[in-house]
Structure 1
Amino acid sequence: MIKFGIIGTNWITDSFIEGALHAEDFALTAVYSRTEEKAAAFAQKYGVETTFTDLEEMAKSDVIDAVYIASPNSLHAEQAMLLMKHKKHVLCEKPLASDSAEVKAMIETAKENNVLLMEALKTTLLPNFKVIQENIHKIGVVRRFVANYCQYSSRYDAYKAGTVLNAFNPTFSNGSIMDIGIYCIYPLVVLFGKPTAIKANGYILESGVDGEGSIVLSYPEMEAVVMFSKITDSSMPSEIQGEDGTILIDKINPIEKVEIHYRKGVVEDVSLQQKHSMYYEVEEFINLIQAGKYESTINSYANSIATAEIIEEARKQMGVVFG
């Protein structure tokens, strides 16, 4: 069994645990929160006996082997590096950190301490993403990748009423590209690598973060277009266009339906049934630990760095500055 501690007691942590409980070798053994009340309430919900309000005490504890970090984005790097220096494996929510310099520092810390660090970007570990990888040859030479993820934030109404919650606060390294756009960018990097150039535009809210945006990314033989928003909804699918056909993806997060629309009119449904969408990142993480490996070949260091660099450049072009 791999003994997990968790940092963060929000809805994403509940979803993570729901998915993780499908993994045979997952055991939740500790909960961290800044307040004892929140830690105790969350721990009680899952029958966990150990709680922490001091992160260094958690890092030193032998109650845990690994930690899932779901704190605000701006805290990821500091928390992860502290834990890794105490030989704890880290599964860190996307985005891995505020910028590429922090991502590289986290990776160096992982290497120095011989521990596993992995970005918890679930899309690329889903069976239906593997289906895309296995079938992409069927559409011939790829000429365009279009990814769309626009989801009206449950916190946007509060923002419009004058309350700036974490989701729209640059202090916590948030905004639509960090929280939503990354789901479009990371799969692109895994499939096609780092682009040769990007052009980004976005709508910047008064708080200083991007409410929505889009990026055009150039490759030698193709281009990619990604669209993301936390202030509008969209029901438009994503797709990969090839000279012989198009792979139609119902939604980029999570991918539930994948169809190949061949140029001659034939449609092939290649979708697979999946478990809870967050199960697969836990499975990958645990399998790596048990195999004595310190890096995922899918959510790899190179892919996390490239994604962070793309986001960083896009933010620079849009005028989004964290502080």
Structure 2
Amino acid sequence: MKLAIIGSGKIVQEFLPLIKDLPDIQVKAILGTKRSQERTEKIQAQYGIEASYTDIDECLQSAAFTTVYIAVPNHLHYAFAKKALEAGKDVICEKPFTLKHAELLDLERLAAEKNLVLIEAITNQYLINYQKIKKASENIGKLKIIECNYSQYSSRYEAFKAGTILPAFDPKKGGGALMDINIYNIHLVVGLLGKPRHVRYFANIERNIDTSGVLILDYGEIKVVCIGAKDSEAPIRSTIQGTEGSVVINGPTNTLDSYSIIFDDVENFDHKDHPHRMYDEFKRFSQVINDRDMDFVKKQLEHSKIVMEIVETALADAGIILG
């Protein structure tokens, strides 16, 4: 896979050290802003990337790559993904896919017209531990309750309280607890159960954005609570409860560090074959793009659309307007 990285921020700097372990992926270009040009060129030199750009249109004219990885702030995902698809590039887009469900549908339509790959980078769906957790949840009797708690005090929260609005807390830029960290909980649950019957979101709102909140998903006989907080902390773990046992996930739902299966006693497991949380997803993306596995792409898009429907319903329920 010949790849261009659109963005040069934190997630990109987390991703690039992984490339040495993914020989099928060649990073051909990187795009940053004019303001971050010095940093972008430093990254380019450090990782031996052939070209760096500050203009998205100029970047997309290059024939050196066929796939783009979009890792810019949330509010830019839709516009940049659309430009990439229009330029004939396959698209891997960071979570959240878009700010609105209709935007994702528009991207899906465009990708289908051009027979291009459009897929969301969401770590937990590809982790080996997640596949094992899904299997374990089928063997603990009838599922009754799922509780996911991803609460992590944001390093940007103090500045936010003081009046400095950074993207993580900016409603115009798709910020907030639901979009940032609770969305990992939503992806985990949708991967297990699919589309819920009802959605409610009870949020703590400051300056028109949710700094924390409790999302309730009703699946009939199964009730789900997803907690995401950037204004407070708690032990980060998730629990899947069945009539005969339970599965406890240790750590955030974007890494799934390990898990325990509890019946009369406790068994602990960790099946990771690589320490980097993004390894499994990008290994799979490379295979999908090389094989043109459009059935898999369609399946993952259906999953992403359910997530976006939940997010849109939840934000409306809380009276939060993004973008």
TM-score band by shorter chain is: over 0.9
- In structure 1, list runs of 5 or more residues that go unmatched: none
Letter in 2 for 1:315: L
TM-score, structure 2 length as denominator? 0.95
Residues in 2 aligned to 1:126 and 1:20: alpha-carbon distance in whole angstroms: 17
CA distance in 1, matches of 2:294, 2:9: 28
What CA distance in whole angstroms lies between the structure 2 residues aligned with 1:135 and 1:297? 25
Give, as a single letter, the amino acid of the residue that structure 2 aligns with 1:212: S
Q: Percent identity?
A: 33
Offset at residue 280 of structure 1 (A): 1.0
Aligned to 2:58: 57
Q: How many residues are treated as equivalent by the alignment?
A: 319
1:291 paired with 2:291, answer: yes
Which amino acid is 2:76 matched to? Answer: L
* Structure 1 position 309 matched with structure 2 position 309: yes
> Take 2:140 and 2:109, find their aligned partners in 1: how far apart are those partners?
39
* 1:296 positional shift: 3.3
Aligned position for 2:173 = 172
| Cα-to-partner distance string for 1:31-55 (whole Å, 9 max, x where unaligned) | 1012133432221221223011111
- In structure 2, the residue matched to 1:223 is 223
Contact 1:215 1:226 in 2 (8 A): yes
Pair 1:45 & 2:46 matched: yes
Secondary structure in 2 matching 1:139: coil
Match of 2:2 in 1: 3
1:94-140 deviation digits (Å, cap 9, x = unpaired): 00001101111111111111111111110111000011122222201
SS in structure 1 at match of 2:3: strand
Contact 1:190–1:298 (8 Å) recurs in 2: no
- Work out the CA distance in 2 between the residues paired with 1:74 and 1:287: 28
Q: CA deviation at 1:274?
A: 3.4
Match of 1:136 in 2: 137
Per-residue CA deviations over 1:132-153 (Å, capped at 9, x if unaligned) read: 1222222011111111111111
**SS of 2:149 mapped into structure 1:** strand
Q: 1:96 is paired with a residue of what secondary structure?
A: coil
Q: Secondary structure at the match of 1:101?
A: helix
Counterpart residue type for residue 109 of structure 1: L
Q: How does 1:50-129 map to 2 (within 5 A)?
A: 50-129=51-130
Equivalent residue, structure 1, for 2:234: 234
Once the two structures are overlaid, the 10-residue window that deviates more, 16-25 or 184-193, is 16-25
Shift of 1:272: 0.9
- Letter aligned with residue 182 of structure 1: I
RMSD between aligned residues: 1.5
Shift of residue 236 of structure 1? 4.0
3-state secondary structure, aligned to 1:42: helix
Match of 1:33 in 2: 32
Out of 310-319 and 272-281, give the one that drifted further: 272-281
Contact 1:118 1:299 in 2 (8 A): no
Deviation at 1:21, TM superposition (A): 3.1
Matches of 1:151 and 1:58 in 2, distance apart?
36
Structure 1 equivalent of residue 156 of structure 2: 155
- In 2, Cα distance between equivalents of 1:267 and 1:298: 38
Q: Deviations over 1:206-243 (max 9, x none)?
A: 1x211000111111221111000111122142010000
**Given the alignment of the two structures, is residue 14 of structure 1 paired with residue 13 of structure 2, yes or no?**
yes
- After superposition, give the CA deviation of every residue in 1:242-269 in whole Å (9 maximum; x if it has no partner): 001000000222101111101xx22222
**Runs of 5+ unmatched residues, structure 2:** none
> Partner of 1:24 in structure 2?
23
1:161 Cα deviation (Å)?
2.5
* Contact persistence 2:117–2:297 (CA under 8 A): no
Choose 277-286 or 159-168, whichever is displaced more.
Answer: 159-168
Deviations 1:298-318 (Å, cap 9, x if unpaired)? 971111011001011111111
**Aligned residue type for 2:139:** K
Q: Judge conservation of contact 1:87–1:114 (CA < 8 Å) in 2.
A: no
Contact 1:288–1:295 under 8 Å retained in 2: no
SS in 1 for 2:83: helix
Q: Does 1:319 align with 2:319?
A: yes
Alpha-carbon distance change, 20 to 130 in structure 1, aligned in 2, over 3 angstroms = farther
Q: In the aligned structure 2, how far is the partner of 1:68 from the partner of 1:152? A: 28
Q: Give 2:118's aligned amino acid.
A: L
**TM-score (norm. length: structure 1):** 0.95
User: What residue is the counterpart of 2:214 in the other structure?
Assistant: 214
Q: Deviations over 1:3-53 (max 9, x none)?
A: 111111111111122234321201111010121334322212212230111
What letter is aligned with 2:270? S
Moved over 4 A (4+): none
Evaluate the alpha carbon distance shift between residue 298 and residue 110 of structure 1 in structure 2; reply closer, same or farther with a 3 A threshold: closer
Contact persistence 2:3–2:29 (CA under 8 A): yes
Tell me what 2:273 maps to.
274
Contact 1:20 1:278 (C-alpha < 8 Å) held by counterparts: no
Is the partner of 2:294 in helix, strand or coil? coil
